[in-house]
């Protein structure tokens, strides 16, 4: 840093010279930086200034972290969807195994409310236990990484306790368990005592009651609200919700169309193939659910692969394949003559090892091979 008079005396200030002027403003309160930055940008939109606060002192690092946060948010939403499908399948399988028990309870006078409350408490207790285990594992991972690989990172890790993050994660787990288990619970409540004498019944064809559907809508709206409030990118979260709803509708429709088409297929002469065709149409067949789950799972997998490719491209694009070791700025051609020696002579007062390293680097620089300064 030199004074204005000393800079002019060097003769380096010429048309086209690269000169940066930096002003640092100390504010009474740290929280005022964002407000003042926004006000300056609004009052002087065409000034050409680059205004940065303490929170974005390194713009490229901030851009990288923002992109990373967006991609991780998308991965988290994908895992939420896949986890919900797993919960739905697990609850459906568990309740299908309890059909005789539910029918027996109905014979002994159990009401739908009692059955619904009993199994809902079991599912929510399991969801709470799984959420607590996930929170403990996620919270302990930074401490483990800090103890094992703390010295290997180029930046210090600062593990801590964040109750708001824990609360949001727990809410995600409980709402997901509630939403994706209500449909199977509603079907289980419709089981009649007569199913004890009919073997297996068409449980998948049973429709939940209006109250169960209303509760499913309320749970979905609550989960959407938590996603939009907690997500750093509201637009991304909204588009993900729209995409998830569209995929759900599309694959449900696709499963229904495929099952309808299989009914119109001619019966095969082979007994095994004929049994497979008819088994897809039997009451309680999981074919529709398998088609739906497979489509949603593959969609989430493709999305995760796309996010991974985006992260790899972001990292590879930000790192040049070959970067110069030295930069010479404001070196005009008029200050050099062809009779001068190039590359410049490095003083021998430097350490000999440093001298050899710098001289070799200067000779390898492509601009020096023409013996003309650039």
Q: Provide the b/e sequence for 120-147 (b: ≥16 CB within 10 Å).
A: beebeebbeeebeeebeeebeeeeeeee
Q: Report the pLDDT value the prediction gives residue 342, as an integer from 0 to 100.
A: 47
Whether residue 143 sits in one domain with residue 66: yes
**Number of structural domains the chain divides into:** 3
Whether residue 118 sits in one domain with residue 44: no
**Can you tell me the distance from the alpha carbon of 156 to that of 145, in angstroms, rounded to the nearest whole number?**
11
Summarised one tens digit per residue, pLDDT across range 284-310 is 677 777 888 888 888 888 888 887 787
Q: Which residue has the tokens 């799972």?
A: 297
Whether residue 356 sits in one domain with residue 247: no
Summarised one tens digit per residue, pLDDT across range 173-221 is 899 999 999 988 988 888 888 777 765 555 556 778 888 899 999 999 9
Whether residue 82 sits in one domain with residue 24: no
**Can you tell me the distance from the alpha carbon of 271 to that of 277, in angstroms, rounded to the nearest whole number?**
10
Smallest CA-to-CA distance from 168 within 144, 134, 199 is with 134
Computed over its alpha carbons, how large is the radius of gyration of the chain? 33
Whether residue 71 sits in one domain with residue 28: no
Residue 95 covered by a domain = yes
Last residue of a domain, one of 23, 39, 56: 56
Whether residue 15 sits in one domain with residue 155: no
Q: Does residue 349 register a pLDDT over 80?
A: no
Q: Does residue 338 register a pLDDT over 60?
A: no
* 28-32, 45-49, 168-172, 313-317: range with highest mean pLDDT: 168-172
Whether residue 131 sits in one domain with residue 14: no
Residue 209 covered by a domain = yes
Long-range CB contacts (< 8 A, 24+ apart) of 320-325? 324/365, 325/361, 325/365
Q: To 10 degrees, what angle do helices 112-149 and 163-189 make?
A: 150
Whether residue 154 sits in one domain with residue 8: no
Whether residue 307 sits in one domain with residue 279: yes
Whether residue 126 sits in one domain with residue 46: no
Question: What is the pLDDT averaged over residues 111-138?
Answer: 90
Whether residue 68 sits in one domain with residue 51: no
Band of pLDDT at residue 119, cut at 50, 70 and 90: very high
Last residue of a domain, one of 56, 73, 89: 56
Residue 325 covered by a domain = no
**Can you tell me the distance from the alpha carbon of 155 to that of 152, in angstroms, rounded to the nearest whole number?**
9
pTM of the model: 0.65
Q: Does residue 257 register a pLDDT over 50?
A: yes
Residue 327 covered by a domain = no
Residue 324 covered by a domain = no
Summarised one tens digit per residue, pLDDT across range 16-52 is 777 777 778 777 776 677 788 788 878 887 777 777 7
Whether residue 236 sits in one domain with residue 97: yes
**Can you tell me the distance from the alpha carbon of 301 to that of 79, in angstroms, rounded to the nearest whole number?**
10
Last residue of a domain, one of 56, 72, 95: 56
Q: What would the two tokens of residue 175 be?
A: 């709402």
pLDDT mean across residues, the chain: 76
Q: What would the two tokens of residue 306 be?
A: 């796309």
Q: What would the two tokens of residue 221 be?
A: 């709206």
**Cβ 311 vs Cβ 71: under 8 Å:** yes
**Cβ 287 vs Cβ 259: under 8 Å:** yes
Expressed as residue numbers, the domain containing 300 is: 59-318
Residue 373 covered by a domain = no
Let me know if 88 is exposed, middle or buried by CB neighbors in 10 A (0-12, 13-18, 19+): buried
**Cβ 167 vs Cβ 132: under 8 Å:** no
**Cβ 177 vs Cβ 87: under 8 Å:** yes
Residue 323 covered by a domain = no
Smallest CA-to-CA distance from 34 within 16, 54, 18, 50 is with 54
Smallest CA-to-CA distance from 188 within 102, 79, 74 is with 102
**Can you tell me the distance from the alpha carbon of 240 to that of 217, in angstroms, rounded to the nearest whole number?**
18
**Can you tell me the distance from the alpha carbon of 188 to that of 112, in angstroms, rounded to the nearest whole number?**
9
């Amino acid at each position: 840093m030199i004074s204005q008079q000393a800079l002019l005396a060097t003769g380096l200030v010429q048309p086209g010279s690269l000169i940066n002027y930096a002003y640092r403003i100390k504010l009474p309160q740290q929280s005022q930086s964002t407000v003042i930055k926004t006000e300056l940008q609004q009052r002087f939109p065409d000034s050409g200034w680059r205004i940065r606060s303490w929170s974005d002192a390194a713009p490229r690092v901030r851009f990288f972290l923002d992109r990373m946060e967006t991609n991780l948010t998308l991965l988290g939403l994908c895992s939420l969807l896949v986890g919900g499908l797993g919960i739905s399948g697990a609850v459906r399988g568990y309740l299908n195994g309890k059909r005789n028990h539910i029918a027996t309870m109905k014979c002994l006078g159990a009401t739908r409310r009692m059955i619904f409350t009993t199994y809902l408490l079991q599912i929510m207790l399991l969801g709470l236990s799984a959420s607590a285990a996930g929170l403990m594992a996620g919270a302990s991972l930074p401490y483990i990484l800090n103890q094992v690989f703390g010295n290997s990172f180029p930046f210090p890790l600062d593990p801590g306790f964040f109750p708001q993050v824990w609360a949001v994660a727990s809410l995600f787990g409980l709402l997901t368990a509630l939403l994706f288990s209500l449909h199977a619970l509603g079907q289980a409540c419709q089981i009649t005592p007569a199913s004890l004498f009919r073997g297996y019944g068409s449980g998948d064809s049973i429709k939940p009651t209006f109250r169960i559907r209303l509760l499913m809508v309320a749970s979905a709206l609550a989960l959407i609200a938590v996603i939009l409030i907690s997500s750093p990118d509201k637009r991304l979260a909204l588009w993900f919700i729209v995409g998830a709803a569209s995929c759900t509708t599309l694959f449900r429709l696709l499963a229904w169309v495929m099952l309808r088409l299989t009914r119109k297929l001619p019966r095969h002469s082979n007994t095994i193939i004929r049994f497979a065709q008819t088994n897809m149409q039997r009451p309680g067949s999981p074919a529709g659910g398998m088609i739906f789950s497979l489509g949603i799972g593959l969609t989430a997998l493709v999305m995760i692969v796309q996010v991974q490719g985006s992260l790899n491209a972001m990292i590879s694009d930000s790192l040049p394949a070959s970067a110069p070791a030295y930069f010479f700025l404001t070196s005009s051609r008029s200050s050099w003559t062809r009779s001068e020696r190039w590359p410049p002579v490095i003083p021998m007062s430097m350490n000999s090892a440093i001298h050899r390293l710098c001289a070799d680097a200067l000779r390898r620089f492509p601009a020096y091979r023409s013996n003309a300064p650039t």
